[in-house]
Chains A and B, each alone.
Chain A
Amino acid sequence: MEQHRVMIIDDERIVGDMAKMSLEQDGYLVETFLNGEAALTRLGQERFDVVVTDLKMKGIDGMQVLKAVKTLHPGTPVIMITAFANLDTAIAALRGEVHDFFPKPVKIKELKASIGRALEKRA
């Protein structure tokens, strides 16, 4: 079976660690990044099936990551995590630019379900 590549970007190390731990149990290939800069470099080299990103980060933030993904890999769904749900994320989600968004604290099962739906929709 083909392994799906998931990119997780969050400046909170534990978010990436825990999501990776759970997703790997389900057979995903997971790469985690602590900031937008490193993630964008990696996106230039590799296509991911799903990108999960935190919204508010120092330097390149979630919205910039979203834009970069839409440019580099237009078909790749982006899931947004926010410590603080705000209007911008809601609007982006309604426009269909964001596949889904999760306010913290994140329910890992729901996140995984959402990733699964994103892959189905893409396929």
Chain B
Amino acid sequence: MKIEQKIVVSITFNLGLILLIGLFSLQDLNLVLTKLRFTAIADELNASFLEMRLSEKNYFLYQDAAALEEIHGNLERTMSSIDSASADIASAIGNQNLKTLKVYVNGYATVVEEVRASRLRGSDAQDRLRREGRQLKDFSEYVTRAERDRVQGIISSSKRFFFFSFGAVFLLALGVSHFISQKILRSLRAIETVAKAISAGNFDTVAGELPHDEMGTVLQAVNSMSEELKNREEALIQSKKLASIGILTAGVAHELTNPLNNISMIAQNYAEYYDQLSREQRIDLMSQVDGQAHRIEEIVRNLLDFSKPKEANLEVSDINETIRTALRLIRNTLEISNIEPKLALAEGLPPTLIDQHQIEQVFLNLVVNAVQAMGPGGTLTIATGFDAVDDQVRVEVTDTGRGIAPEHLPHIFDPFFSTKGVEGTGLGLSVSYGIIRNHQGSIKVRSAIGVGTTFVIELPRYHEPPRAEKAGG
């Protein structure tokens, strides 16, 4: 359900509850009004009964014949007012009580009629009249009192009902708004995480099933924005590459000029002094030519690697083996620079799914950088380990070189950024960065001037896919 619908539903529900409470209260109020109307009638009746009793007393004490007529008149009025208000009375005290009242009134009327007709004055008639009169008055007073008590009861229970039901409505509203705001906050936090990742250049998306509400729509928008940014970034890198072909051409021309010049100068001397040269000298010159040719080949290959990222050829591999292979390739350079690499390779590392050649290339780039940063005699340390929390295999390449200036750190992975002047193409780290990224890994750097630099590579651990049951037959 959408948040808007949830809010509308919860508000409607609460309003409904309040309305229901109002209806109940209105009913209570009507009941109280009915009862009050009855007590007004009852008071009137009680007054009439009292008057009748007084007339009764006058009749017996003072032999006042007119007193009987008064009782008779009073009774007539009382009966007619009971009849006219019978609906109200019945709804207040119930039909049974109304019937009982009528029975008492009729009983009293019968006795009064008998006394009036026969002009009786004996103690027998007096007793009957008094008994009937008292019964009528007592019953009437009892009913009135009971109804007053019930009115009190209704009012106080109505008060309690109000208190509890409004409490319940309040708590319900509080609970629902808390639930909805928690839901919104959770989604906002997910967005915050992604936004932070995006601003750090990591185009992540919100994982897991998205809620089917407005936040879900927002999260989906954030996800598609992230995807779009990722695509744009790739397009941007590609166009950056194209735009820098001009710069690259100049750079490559410059790079190639030196080995070409070397070959040319060797060739000139070789031709000029051919007769004076010993066999060994000739071989030495030609092997130098070969070395320079390799240098050119290297430049061209780097250039191709940069301009045409190849499809990765992924194999399940032990990263320690890849490091050892890379070191074998660069052994000469290390020996010339008098650098003995220190290896701290963790035993029993989980496997990774990598393109051997590409990852070797990354290590070669890092080691060459380290050697160039240190000069002869520095310490190069390569350590591996497994981060169980992130499920990542980690490689740290540390040198004791001159370090990277803090203002250069953010740019070292940019294409064509180089602090090495003529020695670097500014492509090594950029290519490495691309390779590690294609492996769903990360490459980070920390450096301190005069202390050294550490590159940290993290690659996801390879998980054997669950073996599918072979279908029969």
Binding site for B on A (CB under 8 A): 11-12, 14-15, 18-19, 21-22, 25, 56-58, 83-84, 104-109
Q: Are A12 and B261 in contact (CB under 8 A)?
A: yes
Q: Are B257 and A104 in contact (CB under 8 A)?
A: yes
- Chain B residues 223 to 267 lying within 8 A of chain A, measured CB to CB, are 253-254, 257-258, 260-262, 264-266
Is B273 among interface residues, defined by CB-CB distance under 8 A? yes
Q: Are B422 and A104 in contact (CB under 8 A)?
A: no
In the assembled complex, which residues on chain B have CB atoms less than 8 Å from the CB atom of A104? 257-258, 260-261
In the assembled complex, which residues on chain A have CB atoms less than 8 Å from the CB atom of B262? 12, 14-15, 18
The residue that B261 contacts in the complex, of A11, A15, A22, A109, with Cβ under 8 A, is A15
Q: Are A21 and B254 in contact (CB under 8 A)?
A: no
Distance in Å: Cβ of B431 to nearest Cβ of chain A: 23
Top 10 closest pairs, chain A to chain B, by CB: A104-B261, A105-B264, A18-B265, A14-B262, A105-B261, A83-B257, A108-B268, A104-B257, A18-B269, A84-B254
B interface secondary structure, majority? helix
A interface secondary structure, majority? loop
Q: Are A83 and B269 in contact (CB under 8 A)?
A: no
- Chain B residues 389 to 430 lying within 8 A of chain A, measured CB to CB, are 421-423
Q: How far is the CA of A105 from the CA of B422 in the complex (A)?
A: 17
In the assembled complex, which residues on chain B have CB atoms less than 8 Å from the CB atom of A84? 253-254, 257
Q: Are B257 and A14 in contact (CB under 8 A)?
A: no
Q: How far is the CA of A57 from the CA of B423 in the complex (A)?
A: 10
Is B347 among interface residues, defined by CB-CB distance under 8 A? no
Distance in Å: Cβ of A85 to nearest Cβ of chain B: 10
The residue that B265 contacts in the complex, of A11, A25, A83, A106, with Cβ under 8 A, is A106
Q: How far is the CA of A19 from the CA of B264 in the complex (A)?
A: 12
In the assembled complex, which residues on chain B have CB atoms less than 8 Å from the CB atom of A58? 421-423
Q: How far is the CA of A25 from the CA of B272 in the complex (A)?
A: 11
Q: In the complex, what residue of chain A is closest to B262 when comparing beta carbons? A: A14
B372-396, CB under 8 A of A: which get 1 and which 0?
Answer: 0000000000000000000000000
Q: Are A18 and B257 in contact (CB under 8 A)?
A: no
The residue that B266 contacts in the complex, of A14, A83, A107, with Cβ under 8 A, is A14
Q: Which of B253, B258, B273 has the most CB of A within 10 A?
A: B258
Q: In the complex, what residue of chain A is closest to B264 when comparing beta carbons? A: A105
Q: Which of A58, A105, A109 has the most CB of B within 10 A?
A: A105
Given A83-B254, A104-B258, 19 further pairs, Cβ under 8 A: A12-B261, A14-B266, A14-B292, A15-B261, A15-B265, A18-B262, A18-B269, A19-B265, A22-B272, A22-B273, A83-B422, A84-B254, A84-B257, A104-B261, A105-B257, A105-B260, A105-B261, A108-B268, A108-B272
